[in-house]
Chain A
Amino acid sequence: MFFIFILLDRRAKILAAWFRTGHLASLQTWSFRVMTTKESGGAKAESALSSSANPSNCVSEKPNYALKFTLVGHTEAVSSVKFSPNGEWLASSSADKVIIIWGAYDGKNEKTLKGHNLEISDVAWSSDSGRLVSASDDKTLKIWDVRSGKCLKTLTGHSDYVFCCNFNPPSNLIISGSFDESMKIWEEKTGKCLKTLSAHSDPVSAVHFNCSGSLIVSGSYDGVCRIWDAASGQCLKTLVDDDNPPVSFVKFSPNGKYILIATLDNTLKLWDYSRGRCLKTYTGHKNEKYCIFASFSVTGGKWIVSGSEDNLVYIWNLQTKEIVQKLQGHTDVVISAACHPTENIIASAALGNDKTVKLWMSNY
Chain B
Amino acid sequence: MEADASDPEPPDAGEDSKSENGENAPIYCICRKPDINCFMIGCDNCNEWFHGDCIRITEKMAKAIREWYCRECREKDPKLEIRYRHKKSRERDSTERDGSEPRDEGGGRKRPAPDLDLQRRAGSGAGVGTMLARGSASPHKSSPQPLVATPSQHHQQQQQQIKRSARMCGECEACRRTEDCGHCDFCRDMKKFGGPNKIRQKCRLRQCQLRARLSPVMPSESLPRPRRPLPTQQQPQPSQKLGRLREDEGAVAAAAVKELPEAMATPEPLSDEDLPLDPDLYQDFCAGAFDDHGLPWMSDAEESPFLDPALRKRAVKVKHVKRREKKSEKKKEERYKRHRQKQKHKDKWKHPERTDAKDPASLPQCLGPGCVRAAQPGSKYCSDDCGMKLAANRIYEILPQRIQQWQQSPCIAEEHGKKLLERIRREQQSARTRLQEMERRFHELEAIILRAKQQAVREDEESNEGDSDDTDLQIFCVSCGHPINPRVALRHMERCYAKYESQTSFGSMYPTRIEGATRLFCDVYNPQSKTYCKRLQVLCPEHSRDPKVPADEVCGCPLVRDVFELTGEFCRLPKRQCNRHYCWEKLRRAEVDLERVRVWYKLDELFEQERNVRTAMTNRAGLLALMLHQTIQHDPLTTDLRSSADR
Task: State whether A71 and B416 are in contact (beta carbons under 8 Å apart), knowing that A148-B612, A345-B641 are contacts in the complex.
Answer: no
B residues in contact with A103, CB < 8 Å: 411-413
CA distance A225 to B86 in the complex (A): 58
Q: Which A residues between 22 and 51 are near B, CB-CB below 8 angstroms?
A: none
A residues in contact with B632, CB < 8 Å: 69-72
Asked if B143 is an interface residue, CB under 8 A from chain A, the answer is: no
A residues in contact with B625, CB < 8 Å: 109, 112
B641 touches A343 (CB 8 A): yes
Nearest B residue (CB) for A359: B641
Number of interface residues of B (CB under 8 A): 27
A106 touches B629 (CB 8 A): no
Q: How far is the CB of B318 from chain A (nearest CB, A)?
A: 38
B residues in contact with A70, CB < 8 Å: 631-632, 634
B410 touches A73 (CB 8 A): no
* Most chain B CB atoms below 10 A, which of A67, A71, A103, A111: A103
A residues in contact with B642, CB < 8 Å: 105, 343
Q: Pick the residue among A71, A105, A343 that contacts B629 (CB under 8 A).
A: A71
CA distance A100 to B411 in the complex (A): 16
Asked if A361 is an interface residue, CB under 8 A from chain B, the answer is: yes
Known: A107-B631, A108-B409, A108-B413. 20 other contacts (CB 8 A): A66-B634, A66-B635, A67-B634, A67-B635, A68-B641, A69-B632, A71-B630, A71-B631, A73-B629, A88-B413, A88-B416, A104-B641, A105-B412, A106-B409, A106-B631, A106-B641, A108-B631, A109-B629, A112-B625, A344-B643
Asked if B355 is an interface residue, CB under 8 A from chain A, the answer is: no
A residues lining the B interface (CB < 8 Å)? 66-73, 88, 100, 102-112, 147-148, 343-345, 359, 361
B residues in contact with A102, CB < 8 Å: 631
A147 touches B634 (CB 8 A): no
Asked if B605 is an interface residue, CB under 8 A from chain A, the answer is: no
B residues in contact with A71, CB < 8 Å: 629-632
Asked if B628 is an interface residue, CB under 8 A from chain A, the answer is: yes
A106 touches B412 (CB 8 A): yes
Nearest A residue (CB) for B629: A73
Total contacts A-B at CB 8 Å: 82
B residues in contact with A66, CB < 8 Å: 634-635
Asked if B327 is an interface residue, CB under 8 A from chain A, the answer is: no
Q: How far is the CB of A149 from chain B (nearest CB, A)?
A: 8
B residues in contact with A148, CB < 8 Å: 612
Q: Which B residues between 591 and 618 are near A, CB-CB below 8 angstroms?
A: 612, 616
B residues in contact with A69, CB < 8 Å: 631-634, 641
CA distance A151 to B409 in the complex (A): 31
A residues in contact with B631, CB < 8 Å: 69-72, 102, 106-109
- 28 A–B contacts, CB within 8 A, in A order: A67-B634, A67-B635, A68-B633, A68-B635, A69-B634, A70-B631, A70-B632, A71-B630, A73-B630, A88-B412, A100-B629, A102-B631, A105-B640, A106-B409, A106-B641, A107-B631, A107-B641, A108-B411, A108-B412, A108-B413, A108-B621, A109-B631, A110-B620, A111-B616, A111-B619, A148-B612, A343-B642, A361-B641
Asked if B525 is an interface residue, CB under 8 A from chain A, the answer is: no
* Most chain B CB atoms below 10 A, which of A104, A106, A112: A106
B residues in contact with A147, CB < 8 Å: 612, 616
A72 touches B629 (CB 8 A): yes
A105 touches B641 (CB 8 A): yes
B383-407 interface bits toward A, Cβ cutoff 8 Å, 1 = contact, 0 = none: 0000000000000000000000010
A residues in contact with B504, CB < 8 Å: none
Q: How far is the CB of B643 from chain A (nearest CB, A)?
A: 6
Nearest B residue (CB) for A340: B641
B residues in contact with A108, CB < 8 Å: 406, 409, 411-413, 620-621, 631
CA distance A232 to B631 in the complex (A): 45
CA distance A104 to B633 in the complex (A): 13
A residues in contact with B409, CB < 8 Å: 106, 108
Asked if B638 is an interface residue, CB under 8 A from chain A, the answer is: yes
Q: Pick the residue among B612, B628, B630, B638 that contacts A361 (CB under 8 A).
A: B638
CA distance A128 to B628 in the complex (A): 29
Asked if B436 is an interface residue, CB under 8 A from chain A, the answer is: no
Asked if B639 is an interface residue, CB under 8 A from chain A, the answer is: yes
Q: How far is the CB of B646 from chain A (nearest CB, A)?
A: 12
A residues in contact with B639, CB < 8 Å: 106
B residues in contact with A88, CB < 8 Å: 412-413, 416
Nearest A residue (CB) for B626: A109
CA distance A88 to B632 in the complex (A): 19
CA distance A343 to B640 in the complex (A): 11
Nearest B residue (CB) for A343: B643
Nearest B residue (CB) for A147: B612
Nearest B residue (CB) for A109: B629
Q: Which B residues between 477 and 506 are near A, CB-CB below 8 angstroms?
A: none
A residues in contact with B410, CB < 8 Å: 106
Q: Which B residues between 433 and 469 are near A, CB-CB below 8 angstroms?
A: none
Q: How far is the CB of B630 from chain A (nearest CB, A)?
A: 4
Nearest A residue (CB) for B638: A68
Task: State whether A72 and B630 are in contact (beta carbons under 8 Å apart), knowing that A110-B620, A344-B643 are contacts in the complex.
Answer: yes
CA distance A296 to B150 in the complex (A): 79
CA distance A241 to B633 in the complex (A): 44
